[in-house]
Amino acid sequence: MSGIELKQQQIETTMRLAPVIPVVVIDDVRAAVPMARALVAGGTPAIEVTLRTSAALEAIRAIAAEVEGAMIGVGTVLSARDLKAAQQAGARFAVSPGVSPHLLDAADDSELPLLPGAATASEVMAMLERGYRHLKFFPAVPAGGHKLLGAWASPLPQVRFCPTGGISLASAPDFLALPNVICVGGSWLTPANLLANGDWPAIELLAREAAGLRKSG
């Protein structure tokens, strides 16, 4: 088995842990561990912490070290430097909003499995040529929503997606019902006000609601 095939298997396993991967923007490192514990307790153990704040890498490091059962990942990966920093922090998977040749080359050389983003059929085909069968569809709602993604199922049957971007608890079932969707990414599980207030029971409840959604086969 090639390196890309092994890493794609690892990505698929991560995608199948729960119907929703929480997508987190964290400003205060002190919130990282209790937040992650709440998400794991609620049944959403795969957690994507985005590199959109200065606290992100330290938060990933803390979760990786202290939260049992968490499958911690890094989001908004844009470069080889991001990929290396994420791996050093203890991330177990990486997610990018799109792709570039340099990022894909870096991913080939990294042990960290990558879930790359695509928004068009041409981008999906380019990813297939590089050996990627599991992709992020981003930004899901602005790019065409579940209708566009569903239209890809016949001409691109070998690809499975994690749509992310603008999805809510109410709209997630439309995506999860598609044959080419394994899970969705959602920021609604960790809203800024609950993080700021340290309302971990409320975050655990949101995670339980998300974990209760039905996945496609």
| Residue in 5, 7, 12, 48 annotated catalytic | 48
Residue 144, in any domain of the structure: yes
Amino acid 1: pLDDT: 72
Answer whether residue 216 shows pLDDT above 90: no
Its pTM stands at 0.96
Residue 194, in any domain of the structure: yes
Residue 174, in any domain of the structure: yes
| Mean pLDDT value across residues 208-213 | 98
| Contact between 73 and 14 (Cβ < 8 Å) | yes
CATH number of the domain within which 148 lies: 3.20.20.70
Amino acid 215: pLDDT: 60
The answer to whether residue 7 is catalytic is no
Residue 106, in any domain of the structure: yes
Residue 217, in any domain of the structure: no
CA distance linking residue 18 with residue 49, whole number of Å: 16
Residue 154, in any domain of the structure: yes
| Contact between 35 and 195 (Cβ < 8 Å) | yes
Query: Residue 65 sits in which domain range?
Result: 3-211
114 Cβ contact list (under 8 Å, min separation 6): 7, 11, 77, 83, 93, 94, 95, 96, 103, 107, 132
Answer whether residue 217 shows pLDDT above 70: no
| Residue in 58, 111, 136, 209 annotated catalytic | 136
Total of domains in the chain: 1
The answer to whether residue 129 is catalytic is no
Residue 216, in any domain of the structure: no
